[in-house]
Amino acid sequence: MKKLYILLAIGALMMNGCAQKKPNVTNGDETVTIDENNVNSNGYNSSSDGMQSFYFDFNKFEVTPDMQQNVTFNAGVINGKLSGNKIKIEGNCDEFGSDEYNYALGLKRAKAVKDSLASEGVPASNLVIVSFGESNPQCREMTDSCYARNRRVDLHTVR
């Protein structure tokens, strides 16, 4: 167990740099009511404050060209009505893989989204990344579509 904590600490430092103060975050509803202008291509969204979630293929963390519309949309929201706010970028995984692997994959997903938003002009200093690994599922059914909903990055305003 001690090795696990050491590995997690080293991984967090490698992916996130120096430790950051833990922010207070608004808890969005687990099921978010979304309008037609804020729907991902798969119809799901678990982000809050008008931002859109990103969904990933199995074992992947790259922001693909087909995700660019989400990057552009979220950058517009963050630089517009959320300008100056800290944004928490939460990496999530499905249940496959070890806890350590999923934690690292969640961090990679969050960092990829952070880098993409920064390339669209969002100040990187306003973006905080975390990983929940497999511990924050949106869906618990044993189906491919459910697993796909859990492979995501959510964005929330830090309050």
Task: Go through the domains of the chain in sequence order and give each one's CATH number.
Answer: 20-157 (3.30.1330.60)
Residue 64, CA atoms < 13 Å, CB-side half-sphere: 7
pLDDT per residue as tens digits for the range 101-150 = 999 999 999 999 999 999 999 999 999 999 999 999 999 999 999 999 99
Query: pLDDT value at position 73?
Result: 97
**Would the pLDDT of 20 be above 80?**
no
Q: How many other CB atoms are there within 10 angstroms of residue 133's CB atom?
A: 22
Report whether 151 contacts 56 (CB < 8 A). Answer: yes
| Sign of torsion over alpha carbons 72, 74, 75, 81 | positive
**What is the b/e burial string over 30-51, where b = at least 16 CB atoms within 10 angstroms of the residue's CB?**
eebebeeeeebeeebbbbbbbb
- Least confident segment among 20-24, 64-68, 153-157: 20-24
Detail the DSSP E strand segments found in 42-145.
Answer: 54-55, 87-92, 127-133
pLDDT band at 84 (very low <50, low <70, confident <90, very high): very high
- Amino acid symbol at 105: L
Angle between helix axes 99-119 and 68-79 (nearest 10 degrees) is 70
Could you tell me which residue, 12 or 116, shows the higher pLDDT?
116
Structure-token pair, residue 59: 């074992």
Instruction: Give the helix ranges, DSSP H, for 27-98.
Output: 68-79
Residues with Cβ within 8 Å of 89's Cβ and at least 6 positions away in sequence, in order, are: 110, 113, 114, 117, 127, 128, 129, 130, 153, 154, 155
